[in-house]
Amino acid sequence: MDASGEGLCALDPAHKRYLRQRFSLSEAQALSINIRELRSAVLAVLHWGPTWYDPHNRLPQHIQFHIDNTSAVTWANRRTSKHPTSQLYNRLLSLAEFQYNLICTASHIPGKLNVMADAGSRAWGGTDTISKVWSNLSASWSQDLIESPFDDLSVVWEHCCSATPWQSLPIPSTARTGTNGAVLQETWDGPDGSHQQARLADLDISPRTAGLEEPTANASVTSTALSS
């Protein structure tokens, strides 16, 4: 993952998909870089958590965020912060872990190795060098669009607080643009037993199996890394 003064980018190299969000002027001025970096991790687990969830696997899946900001790494691992926005993001991370049977951790990646995510957080049009780098690196990848209510994480938390009989995350309707522009739909059973539907690209990815690995004989969790 990475964030800049302009936006953020989260990558899932295993399935060649990414998320991007451009900050409004008020967000860019109000949010510290630490908060922006943590948001990229939260958006990743909120959007891709439903596809990682496996109702037939009792073992939690390990999701590791690769972030080049040490404060965001610490917040994500310890789930403690005095910043109210970070506290909100950490609550969403913990709720996603519970709802999708995940274990989320973060590790530091040197900025010089974070080339693609860095380009994705900065390339917002134009013919500058960074835009060309992003265009070349993401040519064969698919983008998952960030739609309401996930474009405002405070609204997502309000939804969770109003859910009954227990807190529950909304399921994203994942609009994914493929290399040929096609957008498909697929349905599956959600973690609460409800029938869910999401729009998926023309990729060989099933919501039941995307991002999941077969557990080894000695493993207590399966693992997926979100590299940057």
**Residue boundaries of the structural domains of the chain:** 2-226
pLDDT of residue 187: 42
> Tens digits of per-residue pLDDT, 147-186?
999 999 999 998 888 765 556 787 787 566 654 444 434 4
pLDDT of residue 163: 61
Residue 166 structure tokens = 């227990």
Estimate the share of the chain in helix, then strand, then coil, as percent rounded to the nearest 5: 35, 20, 40
Helices and strands (DSSP H and E) totals, the chain: 7, 10
pLDDT of residue 209: 30
User: Is the bond preceding 165 in cis, omega lying within 30 degrees of 0?
Assistant: yes
pLDDT of residue 165: 54
Residues of the chain with pLDDT under 50: 179-189, 194-222
pLDDT of residue 168: 73
Query: Beta 102-108 vs 7-12: how paired, if at all?
Result: unpaired
Buried b vs exposed e over 65-93: b needs ≥16 C-beta within 10 Å?
A: bbbbbebbbbbbeebebebebbebbbbbb
16: Cβ–Cβ under 8 A, 6 or more apart, which residues? Answer: 140, 141, 142
